[in-house]
Amino acid sequence: MIPAPSPGQGDDKIISVRNLRFTYEGGVVAITDLSIDIRKGDYVALVGGNGSGKTTFAKNLNGLLRPSSGIVTIRGRDAARTAVPELAKIVGYAFQNPDYQLFCATVEEEVRFGPLNLGYSEDDIRRKVERALDAMNLQHLRDKPPLSLRLGERRRVSIASVIAMDPDIFILDEPTTGLDTEESDMLMQKLQNLNVEGKTIILITHDMRLVSEHAKRVVVMSVGRIILDSDPRGAFSDLEILRRSNLEPPAVTKLAHALKDKGIPADVISPQELVFHLLRGGESR
Amino acid sequence: MKALELKDVRFKYRGSDNWALDSVSLVVEKGEFITVLGCNGSGKSTICLLANGLVPHAIQGDFEGSVEIFEKPVMGRTVAEIATKVGIVFQEPESQLFCMSVEEEVAFGPENLAVPRHEIRERVEWALELVGMKGYNDRSPFSLSGGQKQRVAIAASLSMHPDMLVLDEPAYALDPIGRHDLYSVLRELKGKHGMTVILAERDAEEAAAFSDRIVIMNKGKVVDVGPPRDTLRNPDKLKRMGIQPPQLSEVASLLNARLSTSKYSFLTVDEAESTITREIIGRGGVVRK
Amino acid sequence: MTGFVDLYTEGNTFLHRVDPRVKITAVILLSILAFVLSSLEALAVLLAFIMVLVVLSRTPLAKTAFSFKFVFRLMLLIVILWPLFDRSGEPVIASFGPLVLTEPALLRGVTSATRIGCLATVWYILMFTTQQRDIVRALVKLGIRFDFGLTLAISLRFFPTFSATIGSIMDAQRARGLEFGKGGPLKRTRNYVAVLIPAIVSAMRTADGLSWALQSRAYGARLDRTYLRDFKMKWSDYLALAAVVLVLVLPLTAKYVFGMEL
Ligand SMILES: Nc1ncnc2c1ncn2[C@@H]1O[C@H](COP(=O)(O)OP(=O)(O)O)[C@@H](O)[C@H]1O
Ligand SMILES: Nc1ncnc2c1ncn2[C@@H]1O[C@H](COP(=O)(O)OP(=O)(O)O)[C@@H](O)[C@H]1O
Ligand SMILES: [Mg+2]
Ligand SMILES: [Mg+2]
């Protein structure tokens, strides 16, 4: 097993999970045995089919759920012994469905709600809200009622309301479901910016295209455990692993696999790349 | 026979400022599998709702033009009446299953149509088998996964023996495997049963392979109609309309550009593999290890 | 979550097999009996009889305990509160300043508690042994309008969905630093609003979708609707019904015809 984390040393390890197990009240074991370390500034894609335990894992990181056994350490603190609002300052979590949280009369109020709860000073709150509105490109919508906005915009409001709490870690639960390519690309760009600023990103998704384009590291979950932890390309070179976790590789990856014995690398993830490999021989001759 | 005919249809939802559909004309023939492709807000759902009469009967707004379902105008018919001809599956699995067991869910339609009991039993078993949910009769819909819910919703429509099935982004909330299983059902509906299908989708990666025609929508207008090979030929054009082009179309289009031809177009991985093996790798296009 | 409303446990006991209409009738008749009986002894016998039926239903102990917890709490509350309002009679058992506890009042409290116990637990026999859909179907067969039955069925069906939604909404707000049960009245009100509004929005969306789904499945297309599920009274069902009627009629006869103090 991985050695237990030692506090103090290796402080770039912002999340450390050891032998996490989580059982719901009805007896469903959603996380069987999960250990992982995540470094500050990492961009992790957490993938797996519906019901594989991604959301349950995320809720164990921000204290909404407490481990049945095992230890979750966030920035050196035992998550099980830290109050949810305290954790919320470190771990921000944007729910899959933005409509589960939007209730204010304006976007601005919605974004203020988090930092207000956390008891920051008025000046502080104002600064954080402005930054969050900027980060999600919402300035022009700040006086609009959130419920009147399109889905893509509502998602951005919900993420902005997390940014405003100024956490170091962002967990986003399937943030692009239902969005158009354009909206989804814009959102991913904004997340990329946060990552460049040094924030740690955990992106829960089953869109393998997003994974291939944005993540630095892919963690594949299946029935409550991690079955693969690698760089994005590694995740695509093993179709069996993806199938086992109810995921489908992008069509080009499938095509590349079909052409594997013709000399095409199996970890191709974009059409451009595939065509490059296909025509490379022809060009060089 | 025409399954659906829209003539110059315009529709504006009550309380909205712009036309959700603007001068849309479209004919769907019986037995056709049509995929309506477009980004969010392009008007796909409105087309679906027109195809079973919910627009304009149950959903209010300004309506112009004419809609005929199986060559009879929708005006003067109720949604319940049209339901015997057209089944519909909505985007959200959550609100379209309202019974306490899967079996009741599938029986609900035929019961309303006063189908005799023994025949309802047969229809329920037939429909559940078709969607791969045999044996789930007594399960509560609440306990099913999203993909299973959508397949039950399909069965609940099929048990009314409709002549046309309309599906509004049925894979919206599903994971890739749920999506895959759902598409297997659709493929079978087309292949084995020759069902007339209208499928609204935001990307055509799977549907391209077995759609007879694709209708591309943008801002409430139909901008292109035709076989997948024609309508999906130009990935850049699709992107400009906010539609994620199928990756195989992108591969084909890149090959066409680089090889100065226009002959490539791939709808399935198998097709792409064999063509590429034969025509590109066969000619030494790839560095061998 | 689901367990909260769905008390049904699969089984094949006599109570499971008997026609739901007979069970509903039985529950109603036993409830009437609980109202009519006035002596503690008679009510205690009735409660014991109900308990025997519960045991015969072979419902897992955990589920029984879970369901009865509320009933016993309620009974206890009645026993404690009754003498506070009812201070008549002699002899006085105890008194604390203005509060007096008299023997008749205590007796009346215990009697009422037992009656409430009967009224509450008798329904569990039905819930433990009958699927919700069969209860609804039986109600419709007994003459309740189909729309009412459907409304009831939909409410039961969506209860778990809706409670899951509320749970998610509360989680979503807690993740934004909201602490339920903390702060002054103003803050608490605001906390409720933060849950209530998303819940209403979600319920309204569901209701919209629901009405479309109902229409597009030909709801209301014909008046002579058929039903897949049906019950037929077997001889054993008639027998059970007869037994139930006797259980009501015998004590009533004893009480009103022969003047026994029951
Ligand atoms: N509130 C809950 N009560 C009981 N079981 C649950 C609850 N939430 C999730 N589960 C179960 O836990 C497992 C993991 O679910 P989840 O973490 O939501 O997966 P994912 O986010 O990967 O779809 C599933 O089997 C699911 O049914
Ligand atoms: N209930 C409604 N009220 C007002 N406007 C609506 C309603 N539903 C859809 N619209 C508008 O109609 C247009 C087309 O929507 P829709 O048919 O739902 O598109 P799609 O299904 O392609 O996303 C959009 O501009 C949308 O905002
Ligand atoms: Mg999830
Ligand atoms: Mg739509």
pLDDT (tens digit per residue) in A171-215 = 999 999 989 888 899 999 999 999 999 999 999 998 888 888 899
User: Predicted confidence band at A281 (pLDDT cuts at 50, 70, 90)?
Assistant: low
What stretch of H or E contains A14? strand A13-23
* Pocket test residue of B11, B12, B18, B46 for ligand 2, highest count of atoms within 8 A of CB: B46
Residue A21, SS3 per DSSP: strand
Residue B63 identity (one-letter amino acid):
F
CA distance C156 to A140: 43
A88 → closest Cβ in C2, C175, C196: C175
C202-205: long-range pairs with CB below 8 Å, 24+: C202/A99, C202/A100, C202/C165, C202/C169, C203/C162, C205/A99, C205/B92, C205/B95
Amino acid of residue A41: G
Bond into B56 cis (ω within 30): yes
How far apart CA B107 and CA C229 sit, in angstroms, is 9
What confidence score (pLDDT) does residue A256 get?
93
* Ligand 2 atom 24 nearest Cα: B41
How would you list the strands of the sheet with B221-226, edge to edge? B86-89, B164-168, B196-201, B33-37, B213-218, B221-226
CA distance A151 to B31: 34
Residues 6+ apart with CB under 8 A from A10: none
Residue A284 · residue B287 · CB < 8 Å:
yes
Q: What percent of chain C has pLDDT over 70?
A: 98
pLDDT at B288 over 60: no
Question: What superfamily in CATH does domain A10-234 come from?
Answer: P-loop containing nucleotide triphosphate hydrolases (3.40.50.300)
SS (H, E, C) A206-267: CCHHHHHHHCCEEEEEECCEEEEEECHHHHHCCHHHHHHCCCCCCHHHHHHHHCHHHCCCCC
Closest atom, ligand 1, to C-alpha of A48? 22
Alpha-carbon distance values, B74 to A103, B8, B66, B133 (Å): 39, 15, 8, 33
> B90 and C228: CB-CB below 8 Å?
no
For the ranges A243-247, B43-47, C74-78, the one whose mean pLDDT is highest: B43-47
Domain with CATH 3.40.50.300 in chain B: 2-229
Please tell me which chains touch C, using 3 or more CB pairs under 8 Å as the contact test: A, B
Nearest to B98 among C160, C213, C220 (CB): C213
Measured CA to CA, the distance from residue A243 to residue A258 in angstroms comes to 16
Q: Rounded to the nearest 5°, which phi and psi values hold at A119?
A: 75, 30
- C3 has a pLDDT exceeding 70: no
Cα–Cα distance measured from residue C137 to residue C132, given in angstroms and rounded to the nearest whole number? 9
Of residues C153, C213, C225, nearest to B95 (C-beta): C213
Of B31, B7, B79, B49, nearest to B169 by C-alpha is B49
Query: Residues B178-210: pLDDT tens digits?
Result: 999 999 999 999 988 889 999 999 999 999 998
Of all ligands present, the nearest one to the C-alpha of A173 is 3
Contact between residue C244 and residue C22 where contact means Cβ atoms under 8 Å apart: yes
Written as one letter, the residue type at B20 is A
pLDDT band at B235 (very low <50, low <70, confident <90, very high): very high
Interface test with B, best of A275, A277, A285 (most B CBs within 10 A): A275
Average pLDDT (B265-280) is: 93
Reported as a single tens digit per residue, the pLDDT across A136-155 is 999 999 999 999 999 999 99
Q: Could you tell me if B39 and A182 are in contact, meaning their C-beta atoms sit under 8 angstroms apart?
A: yes
- Taking an 8 Å cut-off on Cβ atoms, the answer to whether A84 and C3 are in contact is no
Say how many Å lie between the CA of residue B185 and the centre of ligand 2.
28
Query: What are C238's two structure tokens?
Result: 């008639």
Contacts of B242 in chain A (CB under 8 A): 180-182
For atom 6 of ligand 2, which residue has the closest CA?
Answer: B13
Interface test mutation site (partner C, options B14, B96, B117, max chain C beta carbons within 10 A):
B96
Average pLDDT, chain C: 89
List of chain C residues whose C-beta atoms are within 8 Å of the C-beta of residue A115: 177
Domain ranges of chain A: 10-234, 250-285
Pocket of ligand 2, candidates B35, B45, B47, B88: which has the most ligand atoms within 8 Å of its Cβ, to mutate?
Answer: B45
What residues does B196 pair with on adjacent strands? B164
Average pLDDT on B229-240 reads 95
Chain C residue with Cα closest to B143: C2
Which of C169, C170, C176, C201 should one mutate to test binding to chain A, selecting the residue with the greatest count of A CBs within 10 A? C176
Q: Output the six-digit token pair for A275.
A: 């065509």
Residue C217 near residue B160 (C-beta atoms within 8 A): yes
- Averaged pLDDT score across all residues of chain B: 93
Task: Report the share of chain C in percent with pLDDT over 90.
Answer: 56
What is the average per-residue pLDDT within A127-134? 96
Max avg pLDDT among A5-19, A79-93, A229-243, C172-186? A79-93
C-alpha span between C168 and A95 (Å, rounded): 9
The maximal CA–CA distance of chain B, rounded, in angstroms, is 70
Question: Which residues are within 8 A (CB) of C192 and not within 5 positions of it... i.e. 6 or more apart?
Answer: none
Residue A157, pLDDT > 90, answer: yes
Distances A212 to A221, A228, B203, B208, C216 between C-alpha atoms, Å: 16, 15, 18, 23, 41
Give the pLDDT confidence of C87-137 residue by residue, as tens digits: 777 788 887 777 788 888 889 999 999 999 999 999 999 999 998 889 999
Please answer whether residues C20 and C137 qualify as being in contact, where contact means their C-beta atoms are separated by less than 8 angstroms. Answer: yes
Give per-residue burial for C237-250: e unless 16+ CB within 10 Å, then b.
beebbeebeebbee
pLDDT over 60 at C200, yes or no: yes
C13-69 confidence digits (pLDDT tens): 999 999 999 999 999 999 999 999 999 999 999 999 999 999 999 989 888 888 888
In B, which residues are within 8 Å of A181 by CB distance?
Answer: 39, 239, 242-244
Q: Where are the alpha helices (DSSP H) in chain B?
A: 44-51, 54-57, 79-82, 93-96, 102-112, 117-130, 146-158, 176-193, 228-231, 235-240, 247-258, 269-276
Q: Are C122 and C33 in contact (CB under 8 A)?
A: no
Q: Mean pLDDT throughout B270-280? A: 92
Asked if C211's CB is within 8 angstroms of B80's CB, the reply is: no
Per-residue model confidence (pLDDT) at position A135: 93
C-alpha closest to that of C234 among C11, C15, C12, C18: C18
A67: which residues sit within 8 A by CB, 6+ positions away? Answer: A20, A21, A22, A60, A79, A80
In one letter, which amino acid is A33?
D
Does residue C158 surpass a pLDDT of 70?
yes
CB-closest option in C1, C174, C197 to A103: C197
Coarse DSSP helix, strand, coil percentages of chain C, rounded to the nearest 5 percent? 70, 5, 25
Distance CA B204, CA B209 (A): 9
Residue nearest to atom 1 of ligand 2 (CA): B13
Which atom in ligand 1 lies closest to the alpha carbon of residue A56?
17
- Chosen CATH of B2-229 out of 3.40.50.300, 3.30.70.1520, 3.30.930.10, 3.30.56.10: 3.40.50.300
Phi-psi region of A48 (alpha: psi -120 to 50; beta: other; left: phi over 0): left
The amino acid present at A137, given as its one-letter code, is N
If one counts every other C-beta atom within 10 angstroms of the C-beta of residue A34, the result is 23
| Ligand 1 atom 4 nearest Cα | A24
Residues 59-118 of B with CB under 8 A from A: none
Helix (H, G, I), strand (E, B) or coil at A194: helix
Cα B281 to the center of its chain, rounded Å: 36
**Chain C nearest CA to A273, separation (Å):** 40
Asked whether the predicted pLDDT for residue B153 surpasses 70, the reply is: yes
Q: Which residues contact C204 (CB under 8 A, 6 or more apart)?
A: none
Where helices occur in A84-205 by DSSP H, the ranges are 84-88, 107-117, 122-135, 151-163, 181-196
Nearest listed ligand to the Cα of residue A52:
1
What residues of B are in contact with residue A284 (Cβ under 8 Å)? 287
Note whether A186 contacts C: Cβ–Cβ < 8 A: no
CA distance B171 to B176: 9
Nearest ligand 2 atom, CA B38: 22
**Å from CA of A155 to ligand 2 middle:** 18
Coil vs helix vs strand at B22? strand
Q: Which two tokens stand for residue C230?
A: 């049906």
Is any Cβ of chain A less than 8 angstroms from the Cβ of B288?
Answer: yes
Query: How far does residue B173's CA lie from ligand 4's centre (Å)?
Result: 13
State the pairing for strand pair A69-74/A77-78.
antiparallel
Instruction: Dump the DSSP string for C30-75.
Output: HHHHHHH--SHHHHHHHHHHHHHHHHHTT--HHHHHHHHHHHHHHH
Q: Is B125 on the interface with C (CB under 8 A)?
A: no
Residues of chain A with a CB closer than 8 angstroms to some CB in chain B: 49-51, 150-152, 177-183, 206, 208, 246-248, 250-252, 254-255, 258-259, 262-264, 271-272, 274-275, 277-282, 284-285
pLDDT reported for residue B284: 59
Q: Write the CB contacts of A80 (distance below 8 Å, at least 6 apart in sequence).
A: A63, A66, A67, A71, A72
Mean pLDDT value across chain A: 90
**A51 interaction partners in chain B (CB closer than 8 Å):** 145
- Which tokens go with A11? 């402080």
The CA-atom distances, in angstroms, between A140 and each of A115, A132, A134, B2, B113 are: 21, 13, 10, 47, 52
Q: Is A47 exposed, middle or buried (0-12, 13-18, 19+ CB in 10 A)?
A: buried
Q: How far apart are CA C126 and CA C121, in angstroms?
A: 9
pLDDT: which is higher, A2 or A130: A130
Question: Out of B254, B272, B285, whose CB is closest to A272?
Answer: B254
Token pair for B5: 């005919």
Pocket (CB within 6 angstroms of ligand 2): B 13, 15-16, 20, 38, 40-46
Question: Ligand 1 pocket: which of A20, A21, A23, A24 to mutate (most atoms <8 Å of CB)?
Answer: A24
Q: Do C179 and A99 touch (CB under 8 A)?
A: no
Q: What is the mean pLDDT of residues B11-27?
A: 95
Touching subunits of A (3+ CB pairs, under 8 Å) are B, C
